[in-house]
Structure 1
Amino acid sequence: MGTRGVIAASEPHTAAAGVRVLQRGGNAVDAIVAAKLAATVTELPLTSLGGGGACVWGDARDGYEVLDFFGAAPGLGLAGWPILDFAPITVDFGETSQVFHIGKGAAAVPGQLVGLLALHRRAGRLPLHEVVAPAVAWARDGFRVSPQIAAIAGLIAPIASNSATVRRLFQPDGRLPRAGDRLANPDLGDFLQGLADGSPAAQVATFHRSLVEHFAPTQGGLIGEQDVASYAPLAREPLRIPFGPFTVLSNPPPSAGGGLIGVGLRIAEELGLGGEEFRSPAHQLAVAAVLATVSEVRGAGYDHRLHADPEAIRQLVAGGSLPQWARLARTLCRENGLGATTHISVIDAEGMAAAMTTSNGEGCGHSLPGLGIHVNNFLGEDDINPAGFHRLAAGSRMSTMMSPTIVLAGDRPRLALGSGGSNRIRSAILQTLLNVLAYGRPLDEAVNASRQHIEGRQLWFETAGLAAGAADALQARWPGATRFASASMFFGGVNCVASIDGRLAGAGDQRRGGIVMFADDRTATALPD
């Protein structure tokens, strides 16, 4: 049979877990669930069973679906507002910084544990104990910390030191882990083994009891029994975005990211992007015009419509009228010459694709005692609370920029991709899609080419690899722009796999340690140390 599949992820252990499952006869969903469970151990600063996410998956035979297991706003049944444990911290990216809020009052109702279990039930075919096994082994026996994960742990040092329960996870020896250190999480290993032993419902109940005990209003949080009892993953129809001969499938409302990517693709097609020399001043200014217009779209009541009129978003990206935005983008071109999240992508040899993005935010700085699970701070991120903190109605599914995406050629998957990176997710995925679909660049170049992001009137951009004059052209249009001399994790981490004429390929984003692995059925892959 040869190659059973390809996986792109942000950490070697994560990718190896997926490869092992593919080699044992699993499909793309088995592989992505195994990889994500492993990531809750080996990508501790980025993802957790106390976080949330979304996955788009499917194949030509059975169609495609999105499972939304992102966080929900807590507080159901509260008679009054408690005193919250909620405080700001700053994460320094070097050239720029970003403020987040942590504490138990920053924790939304998490969906990742129940989401992964639901996805495996819906579409996996291997028994759960085989899917969980790699994560259990690394949690109990330890794993070697990658340079990327060590660097990210350093970025969130104030969070990793916030409480005794979190220090136990990040600093068992009294300091943050360095690259090559061995790190274990035996409490999480025992919890995961409980899933493998055939009692996932009991483990979910244990998890929920701990959330209610330690994140209740009496503890400075907002999570109560009604919140966890009412939470369930939601199956949704993907957004369908036409782009030339392709159809792009992405995360629908109430996610913000998929629709904004769709608007960007529609505007790019309207402008005819693709004829400019890649990395040239004309190319960079044209892309900046699209990104600036996408930012304008978000500022024009877009987030409100995600909840109030989600069907309007679907119609907009499927072929609805975009005249005002197209005019704005043309004006920009004419006048000017124009997050902690992790993503896994898989395509298997049978033609099933899966793309999953998950996050713990930056983590709230508190873990569940005895379970080894760091809980999210989704209620403390500006980007997913555009109306202000603690404004969303209790029980509502939160919006997210997460945009796991599959590109179809006909009805078969051509690409599966996504990115981490907070509000930069939409820009990272949109530029990667344009690099491949409009500019025809090879996959690795498309993923790792210099990147931009625009938010309101502010531009951030990388200069490495740009043609002469391109950086100066951008700076002239946005005098206050922030330059990055080299690739930075600030701009996300796109991990992409592809199936082209029956050949599997992949590219990992070096900004966040991206790695690609192939599952070869002739040679078993040993789990890394």
Structure 2
Amino acid sequence: MSIRGVIAASEPHTALAGARILRRGGNAVDAIVAAKFAATVTELPLTSLGGGGVCVWGDAADGYQVLDFFAAVPGLGLGVLPTLDFAPVTVDFGQTKQVFHIGKAAAAVPGELVGLLELHRRAGRLPLHEVVATAAAWARNGFTVSPQIAMIIGLIEPIAKSTPAAARLLLAGGRLPQAGDRLANPDLGDFLQALGEGDPNSLVAQYQASLVNHFGPAQGGLLTTQDVAAYAPVVREPLHVPFGPYRVLTNPPPAAGGGLIGAGLRIAESLGIGQESFLSREHQLVVAAILATVSQIRLAGYDHRLYADPASIRALVAGDGLPAWVERARSRTHENLLGATTHISVIDAEGMAAAMTTSNGEGCGHVLPELGIHVNNFLGEDDINPAGFHRLAPGSWMSTMMSPTIVVAGDRPCFALGSGGSNRIRSAILQALLNLLLYRRPLDEALNAARLHVEDSKLWFENVGLDEGVADALQQAWPAATCFDATSMFFGGVNGVASDDGRLSGAADHRRGGVVMVAES
């Protein structure tokens, strides 16, 4: 038997859908699109055709590109704001609580449906009906709920129960689903089947008309005909971060995450780290210092520069202005909690790599009738609305921390990875890359080792597998630190695949129920 490719995802059905396509002769893009369509069915609390995302893909022969299909700010053509359907809900995470905003005015212009179709059109090779068939069947006939998805639906119970339509999709007979229960979404199944067998353009038009009819100003939302007409995914040049013998290719501005990860990598390289014993006191303290410096970079006008001066972000990761930040990190060597995002990575046997991260926020609680699509609440998330809610200009492309990443040596992909986890995405991916490229850890260990995150002046860390005394040292350096005595989905969910001279492997994050499948034929 020969290996056709490897896929790492956050849920078994998602990985299986992609692996099936690889076995049928599909390439990495076919597989990642099929997996993501499946995820909109089986990982509904995390991703939806009413959400958005980013994919980086390519190979040595044709180069690498980013397709940005994240959300845009609605409201084009509106003279005044209507009365908004926009309300807070409190989600209890046990150790802490967090307020999200839901309702129709929490919905931004979504890009996931048109983004997946555009990516497949550009780089897939199997017919669309094959790519969507597995997702359509699971939506129509039902699927078995995984332990991780059951847990996440339990966390967002206030949203799942906020409307009858949301409850029909997310609950099992009116109650929170348990692992092993079955859920179905026949409306979405019919839509996906029609998408594969019919004219995708007419199905997209139907979907867009539904968005305007049900999320427009008359219904308390902000979506207009002009918004959906103006929206189109954007192809971008990846942000290139030089790092020793590698180039790290990730999401460029106006996304926030890629530049912060790139700055962190360059700071780590300048500090000359990598010789410390892994998970030792020295290792954890220096990584915490780097993460703190990355947080300071964001606080120093970084989000404004993403739009006003994106070239300065590329200059930063190229080295301009880094020495001062390196010194800040050296001197230190002494709050969106759920992160409703999900990530898939694929490398095929022909050397094509693809990494895709998508999100639905937590969902706004409202569903497109007869389509079974739960729409995002991106306008109701603090982290991607730093100036406050409903302050961004209509038509603006929203920023995101999502940072799907491919690492290349020469032009050949070595690793493809990414993470969910809201503002912790930057920390999760940065640490995974440091673990792989500087500390030379095996892929599974690199993705599942204890993590830290710094936001402003606060530190969170996992006290799992650390050397003796490390937790005390972190608490001493960061008196208000929050210690987790077990790994937690708070710290993201990094799923990655690797190619070592053509030998394919994968690893997935245990924090979010990650799954790896090798496709053989």
TM-score, normalisation: structure 1:
0.97
Q: Is the 8 A contact 1:93 1:490 kept in 2?
A: no
CA deviation map 1:230-249 (0-9, x unaligned): 00000000000011110000
Letter paired with 1:203: L
How far apart are the structure 2 equivalents of 1:289 and 1:231? 40
Counterpart AA for 1:278: F
After TM superposition, give the deviation of residue 319 of structure 1 in Å: 3.0
Deviates more, 1:285-294 or 1:189-198: 189-198
> What corresponds to 1:199 in structure 2?
199
Q: Deviating runs (4+, > 2 A) in structure 1?
A: 90-99, 318-321
Q: Tell me the equivalent position of 2:438.
A: 438
- For residues 132-162 of structure 1, what are the alpha-carbon distances to aligned partners after superposition, in whole Å with 9 as ceiling and x for unaligned? 0000110011010000000000000000011
Aligned residue type for 1:446: A
Q: SS at the partner of 1:516?
A: strand
Q: 3-state DSSP class of the match of 1:402? A: coil
Give the corresponding residue for 1:119: 119
Secondary structure in structure 2 of the residue aligned to 1:461 = strand
Aligned 8 A contact 1:347 1:354 in 2: yes
Unmatched runs of 5 consecutive residues or more in structure 1: 522-529
Corresponding residue number in structure 1 for 2:484: 484
**Aligned match of 1:391:** 391
- Match of 1:421, as an amino acid? G
State the match for 1:470 in structure 2. 470
| SS across alignment from 2:479 | coil
Structure 2 contact 345–354 (Cα < 8 Å) conserved = yes
C-alpha distance in 2 between matches for 1:21 and 1:255: 30
Q: Over residues 388-439 of structure 1, what are the superposed CA-to-partner deviations in whole Å (9 max), with x where a residue is unaligned? A: 1111110011000000000001100000000000100000000000001010
Aligned to 1:27: 27
> Could you tell me how far 1:213 is from its partner in structure 2?
0.7
Q: Deviations over 1:431-459 (max 9, x none)?
A: 00000101011110100001111100111
Structure 2 residue aligned with 1:279: 279
Equivalence map 1:297-308=2 (5 Å): 297-308=297-308
Question: Separation in 2 of the partners of 1:280 and 1:87?
Answer: 45
Letter in 1 for 2:383: D
1:456 and 2:464 correspond: no
Query: Which range moves more in the overlay, 312-321 or 225-234?
Result: 312-321
CA distance in 1, matches of 2:419, 2:278: 22
Letter of the 2:268 partner, please give it.
Answer: A
Structure 1: how far apart are the matches of 2:141 and 2:505? Answer: 32
Counterpart mapping for 1:61-140 below 5 A: 61-140=61-140
* Corresponding residue for residue 234 of structure 1: 234
Quote the RMSD (CA, aligned, Å): 0.8
**Corresponding position of 1:216:** 216
**C-alpha distance in 1, partners of 2:502/2:292?**
37
User: SS of the residue aligned with 1:37?
Assistant: helix
State the distance in 2 between where 1:511 and 1:95 align.
16
| Secondary structure of the structure 2 residue equivalent to 1:64 | strand
Instruction: Supply the AA of the counterpart residue of 1:170.
Output: L
> Where do 5+ consecutive residues of structure 2 fail to align?
none
Partner of 2:419: 419
Identify the residue that residue 310 of structure 2 maps to in structure 1: 310
Residues 1:157 and 2:184 are matched in the alignment: no
CA contact (8 A) 1:95 1:484 kept: no
1:215 Cα offset (Å): 0.6
| 1:288 paired residue number | 288
Distance 2:87 2:481 in 1: 29
Q: CA deviation at 1:219?
A: 0.9
Shift of 1:501: 1.9
Partners of 1:422 and 1:99 lie apart in 2 by 14
Greater mean alpha carbon deviation, residues 400-409 or residues 84-93: 84-93
Q: Distance in 1 between matches of 2:133 and 2:196?
A: 7
Amino acid at match of 2:444: D
Match of 2:369 in 1: 369
Match of 2:327, SS state, is helix
**Do the aligned partners of 1:95 and 1:482 also contact (CA within 8 Å) in 2?**
no
SS of structure 2 residue aligned to 1:333: coil
Equivalent position SS for 2:126: coil
Query: Which residue of the partner structure matches residue 255 of structure 1?
Result: 255
TM-score, normalised via structure 2 length: 0.98
Would the aligned equivalents of 1:91 and 1:156 in 2 still touch at CA under 8 Å? yes
Separation in structure 1 between the aligned mates of residue 322 and residue 151 of structure 2, nearest angstrom: 42
Cα distance in 1, alignment partners of residues 306 and 15 from structure 2: 33
Q: What amino acid is the match of 2:22?
A: L
Instruction: List per-residue Cα deviations over 1:494-527 (Å, max 9, x = no partner).
Output: 0000001221011000000001000001xxxxxx
Report 1:508-519 matches (<5 A).
508-519=508-519
Q: Alpha-carbon deviations, 1:336-377, whole Å to 9, x = none?
A: xxx000000000000000000000000011111111000000
Aligned equivalents of 2:94 and 2:283: distance in 1? 27
CA separation in 1, counterparts of 2:433 and 2:88? 35
Mapped to 2, the partners of 1:237 and 1:374 lie a distance apart of 31
* Number of equivalenced pairs: 517
Query: Once the two structures are superposed, what CA deviation does each residue of 1:106-154 show, in whole Å capped at 9, x if it has no partner?
Result: 1000000000000000000000000000001100110100000000000
CA offsets, 1:176-210, max 9 Å, x none? Answer: 21100011100000010111113111111111111
Distance in 2, matches of 1:84 and 1:450, equals: 42
Identity of counterpart residues, as a percentage? 74
Is the 1:30–1:125 contact (alpha carbons within 8 Å) kept by the matching residues of 2? yes
Aligned-residue offset at 1:172: 4.7
Offset, 1:327: 1.1
Could you list the per-position Cα deviations for residues 243-289 of structure 1 after superposition, in whole angstroms to 9, with x for gaps in the alignment? Answer: 11100000000000000000000100011110111001110000000
Partner residue, 2:174 = 174
Tell me what 2:350 maps to. 350
* SS of 2:284 mapped into structure 1: helix
